[in-house]
Amino acid sequence: MKKMNYAEPIIDVYNAIVGTVVAVLSYILGEHWILFVAFLLLNIADWLTGWMKSRMAKKENSVKGWKGVLKKLGYWLMIMVAFGASAVFIEIGKTIGVDLQVTTLLGWFVLASLLINEIRSILENFVEAGLNVPVVLIKGLEVADKLVNKDDNTK
């Protein structure tokens, strides 16, 4: 008589759900969907650490919290505009016979800048909440930010 494995149906359902989520994200966001999910998770972590910092300082403010959420939505709009603009330029390039694929970098630079910004904000929230953040993290982000935004710093 074969033993019943009670975990197998649960694992099968889990695998089906995770597989579906990955397939949908890949379809919507492309092969680099994990970067967008990472950005979303960093948005959530930044909001939570900001709330934690405010709560520890006894300065919770719902208006400020909503401003933070709206700011995050603005970041997503920036990313959409950057990638959307590059898609428009690529189509224009096809029409006039010029390869403008390089404009895709616009979206990636915006995403990279915002990823660095979110990580830096999370670390700042930790510092302001009184947690000891390793200096190497803070310095490493400063270097990365300078590399990504070097043209902005020369103005």
- At 98, the amino acid letter reads V
Q: What is the mean pLDDT of each run of 10 residues along the chain (155 residues)?
A: 75 86 77 91 94 88 86 95 94 95 93 94 88 83 74 56
Give the pLDDT score at 1: 59
Give the pLDDT score at 146: 77
Tokens (6 digits) for 23: 């397939």
Output the CA torsion 121→127→130→133 (10° steps): 120
Give the pLDDT score at 21: 82
Tokens (6 digits) for 18: 């995770």
Alpha-carbon span 37 to 34, nearest angstrom: 5
Alpha-carbon span 68 to 92, nearest angstrom: 36
Give the pLDDT score at 74: 95
In sequence order, what E strands does the chain have? none
Alpha-carbon span 94 to 149, nearest angstrom: 30
